[in-house]
Structure 1
Amino acid sequence: MRNNLALSARNYFGEENLDRVHLLRKNTSWLEAQLTHPGTVFLPFQNLQPFLSEERQLVPFSVHDLQVKGLSVAPVLLGIREERAYFAVDVSETNYKPLAIGNFQELREATLQLPRPDSALLAYAKAMLHWNKQHQFCGVCGAPTLSKEAGHMRQCTNADCQTSHFPRTDTAVITMVTCQGKGLLARQASWPQGMYASIAGFLEPGETLEHAVAREVQEEVGLVAHTVQYHSSQPWPFPASIMVGFTAEVESTNLQIDPEEIEQARWFTREELKDLVATGEIKLPPALSISYRLIQDWLTSEVD
C-alpha cells in the first residue's frame, strides 16, 4: 500500500519540521516574550527572497541582529523548531542591510542547495509573507487591515466591517498520465527548449480534485481518464499554491491537443524516455518540482 505521507515528505517543501503552535498564536504575552527572546530566530526576506549565505544556506538572525524599524508587515510566527521560536520578517520597505555575509536570493534557485527542512521552512515563510503583503486592505470594504494571531489572520479596521481574513492557497492538480505502459508528457511554448512535464491545472470552484484531473486531461490533450489515483502533494510558494499530484490511466493514446495550452505532447515508453533524457534531447522539470517526482516514480515503477 502506498504511504502518501512519506511520498509527500519526499517532495521539496513537503517536509514537516516544526511545531506550528496554533494555540500560541493568540497568546499575546507569549508572543511578546518570544519577539524579544535572545534565542528566537528571525528570517529576513526582501521582495519575498530569503537572506542566505554565499553558500546558499539559511542564516539565523537573533533579535540583536535584526534591529529594524518601519516594517510594513509585522513579523509572522512560523512555529517552534528545536525549542526556538521562528519568525519571518519582511524588510523590503526598509533600509535594513544585514551585517552577516550573504544576500537575498530567489528561493526557487537556491532550494536544491538547502537542507530539506530549511527549504520547507523558507517556503512556508515566503507564502505567509506574500499573503500578509497582499491583504493589507480588506477585500470587503477596502479599509486597512491589521495583523492578528502572529500574522495568521488580518482584521479589517472598519468598525462597520471588521471582517477576519485568513491565509488561502490556490489548489492545482498535476498528473502523470499513462496508457498501455506509456507515459504522457507535454510542453508549453514558453518553456526551455526540449522540456516536458506532467499535465497540470488549477482546481475550479465546486469541483473535486479527481474531477479536476479528469477535466484538465480532457481539455489539454483530449483524453478520457478512467482511473485517477492520488500520489502526493507539495506546497508551492510561487507565489501561493498547493500542488496535488495524481496518476491517471486513460482509454487511448489518440491526442487532441489544445494549442492555447499545449505546444506539444508525446507518449514515451520508460526506456525511450530514459534514453532521451540521457542524450539531452528531452529535459525534465527541475528536481524540486512534484512533476519531476511523478515522472521519476513512474520511470522506476514496474506496475502500470
Structure 2
Amino acid sequence: MARAHLGDDSVIVARRHGNPDGPRVVFTHGCGFAADLYWPFLSLLAVEFDVVVYDLRSHGWNEPSDLRLHNMPTLADDNIRVLEAVNNAFGAKPAFGVYHSLSTMVVLMHEQQSPTFAGLVLFDPPIYPPGAGLDEMETVCQGLAVAARRRQRRFESPDELLAMLARAPAFSLVPEPTLALFAEVTLRPSPDGGYELRCPPEHEAQLFEWYFGHSMQTLELLEDITIPIRVVGADPTLEFSFLPSTDLSTLSDLDYDFVPNLTHLLPLEAPERCASLTMEFVRRHSSIAQPHP
C-alpha cells in the first residue's frame, strides 16, 4: 500500500492489484461511492495491468476529514499527493488515469496544474460543447446536494441499504451482486451499533455544490492538457439517473464514444464493456509512453 499525507495531515491509502510489470492504471470513483465498489470492472484490468486504486478524502478506506476542505481545489491537490506517494511506494513509471463522474474533474484540474499522466480515460465527465445549456446541470447538482443532505446515514445492517438500492430507479441497471458490494463498501460499523455511511452526507453534498461551478471550466482545462484523453459517455439519449450526459462528438480533440443504453453509472452497469474500452486505449498508448521523471 501507499500512504499519501495530505495538506491537512489527513491520509489517503492507495492499494495495488494485478500485474506489477504491466502498464500502470490509477483509478478513483464518483462522489459518495468507494473505489472497491468498482471491483467487477477493476478486476478485469488487473489481469493485465498494474492497477492502483484509492478513495477520495472522507470516502471508502479514509477517515472523514474537515468539511471545510471538501472542495474541488483540495481534491486536485490530494490527487497530486496520491500520485507522488504511489511513485514513491511502487516505483515511478508512466501512469494512465481512469476516473468516473466527479473525479474526472479532479484529475483534469490535477493534470493542468501538474502534468503527471501518460493518458486519461474519463467515464461520463462534465464536458459540455460550446453553446450547451448548463441550466439543467446546475439544477441537477443542486438537487443532488439537497438529496445528499437528506440521505439516511445509519442502517441496522448492510442488507437494509441493499434493499433500498434494489428499489431505486437510478440503480436499476446495476447487477445485484454489485448492489450488495455497494452496501458493503460504503458502510462502516458505527460505535453506537449498526452501520453508518463512510462518506458523511454533508461531505457528499458540498462536493456536488462545488462540482457545478468547476464543470463550467472543463473546456478551458482541456486546452492546456496535451496527453491523449478517451471520454466514454453514458447514452445521451437516455433520461439521466444522476447527471446529464452530452454527445461530445463535435469536440474533435477528444477520443469520444458513448455506450448505448447505459446511464451515468456505466462502469457499474457494464464492467466488461467499460474494461474493454479502457484496455484498448491503454494498450495503444502505453507502447509510446515515456517513463515519467
- The answer to which structure has the higher strand fraction is 1
Structure richer in helix, relative to its length: 2
Q: TM-score range by the shorter chain?
A: under 0.3
The higher radius of gyration belongs to 1
TM-score when normalising by structure 2: 0.25
Taking structure 1 as the reference length, what is the TM-score of the superposition? Answer: 0.24
